[in-house]
Amino acid sequence: MNIITFDSDDKLNEAAANIIIGQIQTTPRAVIGLATGGTPVGIYKQIVNDYQRGMISFRDVTTFNLDEYVNLPINHPESYRSYMNSNLFDHIDLPASQCHIPDGNAADPAEECRKYDEAIELSGQVDLQLLGLGHNGHIGFNEPAHALIKGTHVVDLAQETLEANARFFDSIDDVPKQAITMGVGTILKAKKILLVVKGADKADIIKRALHGTITTDCPASLLQTHPNLIVLLDSAAAGKLA
């Protein structure tokens, strides 16, 4: 595990973007796992800036997003498809056929999960997986539980997750109650994992995730078992680490 702390958001975003871009420069046909939420926005902005400067091409890259809400229209401004389009996909040369996001409106969600796992397997091992961290220790939408599902699956979102995501909607009642998420087993299969965490409100959970007991009650704690984990923190998130 390699933990790096930054004293500014700009430096953290630049470092994360450089890791992702470096992976693609080294492996032009890289398979990249992508995340959504507030944390990656500045990272994607930096990637777009570097693309516009001619530093990188995504023509041969394949991407897989971690998750998508269930029963939220694809063109809804808070769908993760809309998020990815506005923050990244619309601004780079990644072919639409090579960017994958679970279909939260699939008629058969279980079959959609099976097909998503199959697509990941057919693309080969994920070279680099970008992750954020939920306040309750979730990664993707893998919520704390007695046992975790290894493959892509439909999950009931925890109340804490609904409350955290309510800021993106008019009210908490508008937040979808379910999502399709890549499973922890699939996440851990990635060759390299890049965990990015920001804010003092994440200080307790990042300490628990990185230095606490490995338990499904804190899904992110399973990242301790990964052989190539890079953790980028701002100084506030790192505030309770020894």
- Is residue 242 in a domain? no
- How many CA atoms are closer than 13 Å to the CA of 164, on its beta-carbon side? 17
Instruction: With respect to residue 182, please indicate whether it lies within any of the assigned structural domains.
Output: yes
Within a domain: residue 127?
yes
**Distance (Å, rounded) from C-alpha 112 to C-alpha 104?**
8
Give me the CATH number covering residue 58.
3.40.50.1360
In a domain, 40, yes or no: yes
According to the model, what pLDDT value does residue 96 have? 96
Residue 36 lies in a domain: yes
Confirm whether 126 is domain-assigned.
yes
> Is the overall model pTM greater than 0.85, yes or no?
yes
Which residue type does 118 have? Answer: E
138 falls in which pLDDT band (50, 70, 90)? very high
d(CA 177, CA 215): 24
Mean pLDDT of 117-123: 96
The answer to whether position 149 is within a domain reads: yes
Instruction: Mark out the alpha helices in the chain (DSSP H runs).
Output: 9-26, 41-52, 80-87, 109-123, 159-165, 184-188, 203-211
pLDDT confidence bin for 158, thresholds 50/70/90: confident
Q: Give tens-digit pLDDT for 80-100.
A: 999 999 999 999 999 999 999
Q: Which domain holds residue 105?
A: 2-234
Residue 101: its pLDDT value, please? 97
Residue type, 139: I
Residues annotated as part of the active site: 67, 136, 138, 143
What's the number of domains the chain is made of? Answer: 1
Alpha-carbon span 198 to 33, nearest angstrom? 19
Tell me whether residue 241 is in a domain: no
Taking residue 26's Cβ as centre, other Cβ atoms within 10 Å add up to: 9
Is the distance from CB of 43 to CB of 196 less than 8 angstroms? yes
Flag the least confident range among 47-56, 106-115, 141-150, 190-199. 141-150
